[in-house]
Amino acid sequence: MQIGIPLELQSGERRVAATPKTTEQLIKLGYSVVVQSGAGNEASFPDDAYVASGAKIVDAETVWASDIVVKINPPTDDEIAKARESSVLIGLIAAPRSPELLQRLANRKLTVLAMDSVPRISRAQSLDVISSMANIGGYRAVIEAAHEFGSFFTGQVTAAGKVPPAHVFVSGTGVAGLAAIGTARSLGAIVKATDIRAETAEQVKSMGAEFVAVQSEEAQQSSDGYAKEATEDYAAAANRMYAQQVPQQDIIITTAQIPGRPAPRLIDASMIAQMKPGSVIVDMAASSGGNVEGSVADEVITTANGVKIIGYSDLPGRLPTQASQLFATNIVNLMKLITPGKDGNLVLDLEDVVQRGILVTRDGEVTWPPPAVSVSAAPVAASGAAGAGSGTGGGASAAAAGLAKAGDISSQNNVEKNPRDPRVTYAVAAVCAIALLALFAISPGGLLGHFMVFMLSCVVGFYVIGNVSHSLHTPLMSVTNAISGIIIVGCLVGFTALNQATDMFLGTNLAIIILSVIGILLASINVFGGFAVTNRMLKMFRKG
């Protein structure tokens, strides 16, 4: 079968649905690939690169006559008319918001696979175009904010004065939000974030940001990997939180969107009016109504008090090379799934929840929406003896459900283990004590004193080494340097003891001296070598 890659016609679109690298992978699956002339130019993939990878450069009519057409944006009416009946179309369709488009595609008897409808389950992550593009979008949102922001992200102390770090607030901690947090943190900003899904708090904290929770008992648990529309009580609590946080921020990035519905309004004009002049807001949901009052899709608006609101809807496309590569890789992973024989023949298995989830039209029929797929564990009612333990069991189940991450088909098995009988522990301790006393009874008299010194050395050494700061070293280097330091101290103590002996250069004392010298030499090499390596690493990060 032939796969066609057309030129994207949407204004400002610079991405392409296949790259030379992924073209080679599609050909290895048994397909032939044709690419419309100039389709990859804006993404830095010239026609010659496609030819070198085994594709043919053709015109638009030949591309749309292919058995399978892969593109990024939803097709226009002209493109639908060019498509061969009963062929397969793969791309972004926005099915929940485009019932008329789905009907036109069905009327043309096209089999359409919507890459933006991939179920958020673990097995489908390699196909998840939404996550791929959101990752790039979150990164680019911070870059756009940095371009408009009039200061550093990181704090600096210079001869001319001290520059405080920027304060960044991220609303929505899905893939885009986490990417924005990581980028802002890497630039040195102080980052806070919030989300309606309470289970994302650990992810935020693990990236070095502060999670700002909405003071409400109605925080959501995701059942399909996406946030849901908030209740009125939760929205009121969230509004109070935003009213407190927004005026304190230099940069705000909002990512909250609900599939098939307008984006929720999170920040209103009264909050923006309290922000400092020069502050920046990036509304990543501007194209679906906007999280921020006053944002306009694809425009930068400056408010009366000097706050810039960025509403770009093409953030992934502003990194066209990387975005094209990720999108094309998602396509390759899909083709591997629906080409089981690797013989160039597409085979759909509607029993597969992934394939059924992305199928939106087939044989003149609209097949959207697909059957629901649950992707997060739900609390399970506790069961047990009548009248006993139900509260504890229910709490454990709820805690287990709270640990389930959005996008994972999994459940937490919270099985209570039988506690060990304390009498067994006491019996084992008694046996060990008796055995130790028996050993001391038959051993030389000095063993007990040496054993006590050994035990105290282990305890002291543990606390000395465990409390070493890792500020300039890796933890491993810090611990080895601490151990080496203790070795040096021990060897020096040995020398001090020997200085009081009359036969310090005779017999056993000579061996002790030799061992002490060797120990000091090796430990010193380790300590000074560690500092030398650290200094060399630090020089790599110095300018000039």
Q: Which residues are catalytic?
A: 120, 125, 128, 131, 226
Beta bridge partners of 250: none
Give the three-class secondary structure for 476.
Answer: helix
Cβ atoms of residues 331 and 18 within 8 Å: yes
Cβ atoms of residues 306 and 278 within 8 Å: yes
End-to-end CA distance of the chain: 57
The span from the CA of 18 to the CA of 256, in Å, is 29
Look at residues 314, 286, 285, 310 and name the one whose alpha carbon lies nearest to residue 300. 310
Look at residues 271, 326, 261 and name the one whose alpha carbon lies nearest to residue 294. 271
Look at residues 316, 320, 242 and name the one whose alpha carbon lies nearest to residue 281. 242
**Quick check: bond before 369 cis, omega within 30?**
yes
Query: Please, where are the H alpha helices in 289-408?
Result: 320-337, 353-358, 390-403
Cβ atoms of residues 201 and 213 within 8 Å: yes
Q: Over the range 322-355, which residues count as b (16 or more CB within 10 Å of their CB) and which as e? A: bbbbbbbbbbbbbbbbbbeeeebebebeeeebbb
Three-class DSSP labels, 194-226? ECCEHHHHHHHHHCCCEECCCCCCCCECCCCCC
CA gyration radius, the chain = 32
Look at residues 153, 226, 195, 171 and name the one whose alpha carbon lies nearest to residue 372. 226
Query: Please, where are the H alpha helices in 338-384?
Result: 353-358
The span from the CA of 402 to the CA of 395, in Å, is 10
Cβ atoms of residues 169 and 242 within 8 Å: no
